[in-house]
Structure 1
Amino acid sequence: MSVAELKERHMATTETVNALRERLKQKRQSLLDTDVAGYARSQGKSAVSFGPTDLVCCRTLQGHSGKVYSLDWTSEKNRIVSASQDGRLIVWNALTSQKTHAIKLPCAWVMTCAFSPTGQSVACGGLDSLCSIFNLNSPTDRDGTLPVSRVLSGHKGYVSSCQYVPDEETHLITSSGDQTCVLWDITTGLRTSVFGGEFQSGHTADVLSVSINASSSRLFVSGSCDGTARLWDTRVASRAVRTFHGHEGDVNAVKFFPDGNRFGTGSDDGTCRLFDIRTGHELQVYFQQHADNEVPHVISIAFSISGRLLFAGYTNGDCYVWDTLLAKVVLNLGSVQDSHTGRVSCLGLSADGSALCTGSWDENLKIWAFGGHRRVI
């Protein structure tokens, strides 16, 4: 068979697949008679009453001299690690605002950071295509620099996201611009599994984010520039369990819902979406119309501990608090006093749900405390 014939057959097959995908999409939509908000309204549910004093900025963490790209909380709630364009990781005491570690990185172009489950180590990655591990208990060298304890090498593109497997100090998952995700054994520094790449069910563009299911740590989701999110099982690396369509732009952020049966996404198309991993259905779209018709991109998302609230950071500096049940914005942290002056590039909730931390291109991090009964939402 000639090359021309192969190309023609490939084009015909691609058209067939696209047509089947469109038919499947239409069939799924026909089965969805309502969304979460529609059903909630039919049951007489009302939106959460949320005022400016229910979530207030209690402290600003200043110390970075470049855009903040990533942050993570420890499981014991009182420490935060942040990564910045200034080429440093800073570990903060969230209660006192003091810096406990300021780690100078071998590569300044860092994009992601994460605490290990015990909080004894931090991982980071970026444009050097490596994931570097630092043991916070290691002694510093003569220059006061904390040495790298392990380097995970194998990606062929930038490392966009990293997350430790829950309750495991020795395994983490990374996502990359090489269109793959990788499960690593930190003890050996070797790749345990590669998800995507040459496999047909993998992403077809840069992978930007990952989220591991806390209820079943063998499952994780990934978001990509190909406009899809994919569900993976670490026991079956050869193919994605399910692919989720709906976004019309890069999927910048993914986050599992607290119950582990659903997950949220944030995209360049300006929407957040909620998907069910069991059915593959899109349950809800979260979108706020702007008067100027400009659509700010969603860069970061997080859920409250009950899942009733969705926090979303945008490129225009807004940080919306969504009522996930009614798909309604109940508060915009970008419009209150002490808000960020740049894009909200990262955010995360403390383990007990009592505080939210946001990081921004304005070089600062802010800790927002919930007041009164709002602590349990």
Structure 2
Amino acid sequence: MKPNDVELKLLSEIMTLKDRLNQIRNGAREYDLSQLIRETNLHVFSRIPTLSPVHHLRAHTSKVHDVVWTPSDKFLITVGGEGLIVVWETQSGMINNVLDVSGVQPITAAASDDARKLYCGGLCANVVLFTSQHRPAEDGYSEYETVLVYEHSGQVNCIVRLDESQLLTAATSDGVLLWDAEQVKVIGRFPQKHSTVCCLSLMTTTIQGASTFLTGASDGTIRLWDLRQPGTMVSQFESHESDVNCVKPLPNGLNFVSGSEDTAIHLYDLRTDIVLSRFSDPQPPSQMQPPEDEIGQVTTQSDVVTAYQSASVCDIAVSASGRMLISGCKDSGLYYWDLIQQDRCVHRETESGPVIRLAMSNQKHAMAMLTWDAKSRIRIMRPR
């Protein structure tokens, strides 16, 4: 059904008011980041290191939903739509263990350093703790057994293991819950009544000592919370125009970046609620380099055009210095960004499917990339 004149008039008025609001916001800013960058004459990278795969991880027979490093970076956890969680050894790229959690209908997971404890959540509205029971080598893989169940009232989207005794989860109807992991008891609630939490990140580069965390929601808003003050939001930041898919802290502990369905990456500072810088550079398929598949065949431009549906930002990886970003998008693009060059990306590559996850290791020595090709591809990437 075509919009009538009244709807078009209202839409025009909304856009006009939105432009006026942006002008007022820009006028209220105390400084312009791009101007400060020009005044300080910072060095601009002429060449940047790109990444190449060192391991191709093949085991899943369905779409893979999540890729998670253990805190020690020794193992990588992948969550498949067929109901399997696979534990990989990151140095060799070999399978360490396989766990059937089809009853949970898994979407995401978290694990201990040694991957002996696995927390899994998904469509079944529960987070389940599985622990590994050692078996002799001749009997095959160690067996995982269900130990505890953390009940929610909706789909579980995020799990963060704080330590042996505390767990942070986000579910569709519950907002964020802080658990006493051993007593299976909720000890803190962080409600978001009118939106769904899409992503969650500790506002620190290490889990130890974390006291604040960020949530990105379906209303485009990013909120800051304090674990020591359940129920009370600390701050709310200038929002995106659509769902927030990822929020990632920078190493300095004061800044963070977010990626959204609106195709934009925002740079924020905890000390102010406005966007410091905005990055968005979706390119037509003709301007992006077609990739080669694993047997040397080049993906045709028609294949790329089919994948080019939206440049929505699915995930972001942050470099060790915090200056470089890599964003993965639904248009199959892998974009490299320099934070002082907000007008364009400094390098871009095309994958053969939407880039769903970019999981940087905790020590920043490698990145796990998940793409949804005809069959999900998981690769561990390192600098060339």
Structure 1 length normalisation: TM-score?
0.81
Q: Offset of 1:30 from its aligned partner?
A: 2.2
Residues 320, 144 of structure 1: alpha-carbon distance in 2 compared, 3 angstrom cutoff: same
Distance (whole Å) between structure 2 residues aligned to residue 55 and residue 22 of structure 1 = 39
| Aligned residue number for residue 293 of structure 2 | none
Residues 27, 119 of structure 1: alpha-carbon distance in 2 compared, 3 angstrom cutoff: farther
Deviations 1:116-155 (A, max 9, x none): 35643222211111112222355599997522222111x2
Q: Are 1:46 and 1:326, in contact at CA under 8 Å, matched by a contact in 2?
A: no
Aligned to 2:37, what secondary structure does the other structure show?
Answer: helix
| Aligned residue number for residue 278 of structure 1 | 271
Pairs within 5 Å for 1:274-313? 274-291=267-284, 295-313=310-328
Q: What is the one-letter code of the residue matched to 1:152?
A: Y
Structure 1 runs (4+) greater than 4 angstroms displaced: 21-28, 137-145
The reply on whether 1:109 has 2:94 as its aligned counterpart is: no
Q: Offset of 1:365 from its aligned partner?
A: 0.8
Q: Offset of 1:289 from its aligned partner?
A: 3.5
Q: Offset of 1:163 from its aligned partner?
A: 1.1
| Aligned residue number for residue 187 of structure 2 | 192
Residues 107, 273 of structure 1: alpha-carbon distance in 2 compared, 3 angstrom cutoff: farther
The reply on whether 1:81 has 2:81 as its aligned counterpart is: no
Deviations 1:52-72 (A, max 9, x none): x64212221111111111111
Distance (whole Å) between structure 2 residues aligned to residue 73 and residue 365 of structure 1 = 13
- From 327, 332, 340, the equivalent of 1:317 is 332
Deviations 1:340-367 (A, max 9, x none): x222221211222121111122322111
| Aligned residue number for residue 238 of structure 1 | 231
- From 157, 160, 164, the equivalent of 1:169 is 164
Distance (whole Å) between structure 2 residues aligned to residue 191 and residue 276 of structure 1 = 30
Distance (whole Å) between structure 2 residues aligned to residue 313 and residue 344 of structure 1 = 5
Q: Are 1:66 and 1:361, in contact at CA under 8 Å, matched by a contact in 2?
A: no
Distance (whole Å) between structure 2 residues aligned to residue 325 and residue 169 of structure 1 = 39
| Aligned residue number for residue 266 of structure 1 | 259
Gaps of 5+ in 1: 1-20, 197-201, 372-377
The reply on whether 1:369 has 2:382 as its aligned counterpart is: yes
Q: Are 1:64 and 1:364, in contact at CA under 8 Å, matched by a contact in 2?
A: no
Distance (whole Å) between structure 2 residues aligned to residue 279 and residue 24 of structure 1 = 18
Which shows bigger deviation, 21-30 or 352-361?
21-30
Q: Offset of 1:316 from its aligned partner?
A: 2.1
Distance (whole Å) between structure 2 residues aligned to residue 37 and residue 66 of structure 1 = 44
Identity %: 27
The reply on whether 1:330 has 2:326 as its aligned counterpart is: no
Q: Offset of 1:33 from its aligned partner?
A: 5.2
Deviations 1:64-113 (A, max 9, x none): 11111111112332321111112111111112111001111043632212
Structure 2 length normalisation: TM-score?
0.80
Count of residue correspondences: 337
| Aligned residue number for residue 10 of structure 1 | none
| Aligned residue number for residue 47 of structure 1 | 44
Residues 369, 318 of structure 1: alpha-carbon distance in 2 compared, 3 angstrom cutoff: same
Gaps of 5+ in 2: 1-17, 286-307
Q: Offset of 1:276 from its aligned partner?
A: 1.2
| Aligned residue number for residue 149 of structure 2 | 151
Distance (whole Å) between structure 1 residues aligned to residue 258 and residue 197 of structure 2 = 13
Aligned to 2:233, what secondary structure does the other structure show?
Answer: coil
| Aligned residue number for residue 9 of structure 2 | none
